[in-house]
Amino acid sequence: TDSTARFEDFQGFAKSLFETYRSGDTWRLRPGILPLLEALEREGRLIAVISNFDHRLPDVLEALKIKHFFTSIILPCDVGSAKPDRALCEHAARSLGTDLERLTYIGDDDAARLKIVAGYGIGVIDLRALENPAELADQLLSPDNDPTTIRESATDESIVQGMTSYPLLHLFSRP
């Protein structure tokens, strides 16, 4: 980077950059996420997004044409805490009309954060450990999906726990 760079209108530049990340052009869905969302919707599953992003997230989800899949979109400003705080997860459970233990967190957070979430009794799936997120639909929707028997011990490398009825998702990344 060039620390000597100067802008005639730095505030205008900063505002333009900030608004760029509200656009769908700046983001892409992970491969396999759209089929996963469609499958969960067909089965009538309620889905929430919890994110440490800001107030632009609903606009981003709308631009990506996926906002309609979500029962709720939960941000730190809604609750006064950020991931992985328990209050954010409890707020998500209430918004879906269920208990923490019936949730599955599907995310790409670091292992330490995923372990914290798993410690609340929430099933956790590490997206980074999956080759094809679309295959998650089969696991989440399986009639054999019994959260009391599927839960496994979390490891530092990958966490796949308790695939239950109410997914919480972290879905997109910057290109």
SS3 content of the chain, % helix, strand, coil (to 5): 40, 15, 45
pLDDT tens readout for residues 51-93: 888 899 999 899 989 999 999 999 999 899 988 999 999 998 8
Q: What is the pTM of this model?
A: 0.76
Nearest CA among 82, 67, 43 for reference residue 165: 43
Q: Look up residue 103 and give its two tokens.
A: 């949730």
- CA 134 distance to own-chain centroid: 15
Rounded Cα distance between 105 and 112, Å, is: 14
Rounded Cα distance between 70 and 15, Å, is: 28
pLDDT tens readout for residues 11-27: 998 898 888 877 878 88
Cα radius of gyration rounded to whole Å, the chain: 17
Nearest CA among 50, 115, 140 for reference residue 89: 50
pLDDT tens readout for residues 105-145: 888 888 888 889 989 988 888 877 777 766 777 777 766 65
